């Protein structure tokens, strides 16, 4: 019968996107931040990035072989993890620490929890926090583009370090001519990569915009000597906010699946980051904020699941 209907199971609407294509898009989007890191901090950043990526890919292959799983290095997810970790490391980090971080991210956080799509926290951020706790001196050895050791802008504004001269200008912060991790200093480069992800529909903007907006509002209200006098723009342009908001807080596996849930996560990340930056001894708080919200993601999903069409029960 020519007019017969073909009955199949869902999903009925499909697209041509694959895991490898999405991950490759993320790699492409990270290239501007990586190039800016090389430009401002010199050739010393290249081996850091290469070692982190190669260690991540090797760890993925060995873990799959050991655990009896299909080899998954072709999906580029290990490359993404290695790049994200490298871009969150200081330019002066010893190469062996970068390699250890990649092994921790892939084996401990990803593969031991079931592999891609099963980890409950972002692998690169978790590895970064472990490295920060284990090797705090090496993980906080910042340099500015003229190769002189320096505090980060957030440490300067908090008065945690002796500051010689004035704070970096907004333009320096936007372009990346400040001390910090390899890929987090240039807001311009990060925004170029983020624009590519949005264009490719790899990410949506609920989490990044609410994350950045909430932190800006919080630091404007509470970040100055009096209420509503804080330098919110400085907080927006400093630290790992932009890199993490667009590339790590939006991770499919560790972020909520609903629109309302993603807004809640962005607000939560912004509030936690502001609290850590203003009221603790640690001038940065992005990594800790995202990981805490990663842990809450299943609970957020549970209470933001929409009601099914024509029904009364909430369904995922």
Long-range contacts, stretch 22-28, CB < 8 angstroms, 24+ apart: 22/202, 23/75, 23/76, 23/77, 23/79, 23/80, 24/76, 25/196, 25/197, 25/200, 25/202, 26/76, 26/80, 26/197, 26/202, 26/247, 27/76, 27/79, 27/80, 27/83, 28/193, 28/196
pLDDT at position 164, please? 45
Task: List pLDDT tens digits, range 183-222.
Answer: 999 999 999 999 999 999 999 999 999 999 999 999 999 9
Mean pLDDT of all residues in 87-113: 96
DSSP-based three-state secondary structure for 63: helix
Mean pLDDT of all residues in 226-241: 94
pLDDT at position 34, please? 98
* Contacting residues for 62 by C-beta, under 8 A, at least 6 apart: none
Answer yes or no: are the C-beta atoms of 103 and 55 closer than 8 Å: yes
- Domain membership of residue 5 (yes or no) is no
Q: How far from 55 is each of 47, 49, 83, 118, CA to CA, in Å? A: 12, 10, 11, 21
pLDDT at position 150, please? 58
- Domain membership of residue 312 (yes or no) is no
Task: List pLDDT tens digits, range 112-167.
Answer: 999 999 999 999 999 999 999 999 999 988 887 765 555 677 766 765 444 544 67
CA 105/CA 115 separation, integer angstroms: 11
Residue 179 sits in which domain range?
Answer: 19-303
Q: Is 80 exceeded by the pLDDT of residue 23? A: yes
- Domain membership of residue 309 (yes or no) is no
pLDDT at position 161, please? 47
pLDDT at position 162, please? 42
Task: List pLDDT tens digits, range 26-48.
Answer: 999 999 999 999 999 999 999 99
Q: Looking at the 3D structure of the chain, how many domains does it have? A: 1
Q: What is the CATH number of the domain that holds 201?
A: 1.10.3430
- Domain membership of residue 310 (yes or no) is no
- Domain membership of residue 146 (yes or no) is yes
CA 301/CA 316 separation, integer angstroms: 8
Task: List pLDDT tens digits, range 255-301.
Answer: 999 999 999 999 999 999 999 999 998 878 999 999 999 999 999 99
Residue 268 CB burial class (10 angstroms; 0-12, 13-18, ≥19)? buried
The whole model's pTM is what? 0.90
- Domain membership of residue 314 (yes or no) is no
């Amino acid at each position: 019968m020519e007019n017969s209907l073909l009955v199949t199971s869902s999903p009925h609407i499909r697209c041509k996107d694959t895991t490898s294509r999405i991950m490759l898009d993320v790699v492409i989007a990270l290239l501007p931040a990586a190039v800016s890191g090389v430009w401002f901090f010199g050739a010393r950043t290249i081996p850091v990035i290469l070692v982190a990526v190669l260690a991540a890919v090797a760890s993925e292959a060995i873990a799959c072989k050991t655990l009896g799983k299909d080899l998954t290095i072709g999906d580029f997810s290990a490359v993404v993890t290695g790049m994200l970790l490298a871009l969150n490391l200081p330019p002066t980090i010893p190469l062996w620490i970068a390699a250890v971080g990649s092994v921790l991210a892939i084996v401990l956080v990803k593969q031991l929890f079931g592999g891609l799509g099963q980890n409950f926290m972002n692998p690169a951020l978790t590895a970064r926090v472990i490295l920060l706790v284990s090797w705090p001196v090496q993980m906080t050895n910042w340099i500015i583009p003229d190769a002189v050791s320096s505090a980060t802008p957030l440490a300067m504004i908090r008065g945690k370090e002796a500051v010689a001269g004035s704070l970096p200008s907004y333009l320096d912060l936007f372009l990346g001519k400040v001390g910090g991790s390899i890929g987090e200093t240039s807001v311009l480069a990060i925004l170029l990569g983020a624009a590519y992800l949005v264009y490719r529909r790899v990410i949506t903007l609920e989490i990044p915009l609410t994350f950045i907006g909430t932190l800006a509002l919080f630091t404007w209200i509470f970040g100055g000597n009096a209420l509503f006098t804080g330098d919110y723009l400085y907080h927006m342009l400093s630290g790992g906010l932009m890199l993490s908001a667009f590339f790590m807080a939006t991770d499919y596996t560790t972020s909520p699946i609903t629109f309302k849930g993603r807004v809640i996560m962005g607000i939560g990340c912004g509030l936690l980051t502001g609290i850590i930056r203003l009221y603790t001894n640690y001038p940065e708080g992005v990594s800790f904020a995202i990981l805490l919200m990663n842990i809450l993601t299943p609970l957020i999903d549970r209470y933001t699941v929409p009601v099914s069409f024509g029904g009364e029960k909430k369904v995922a």
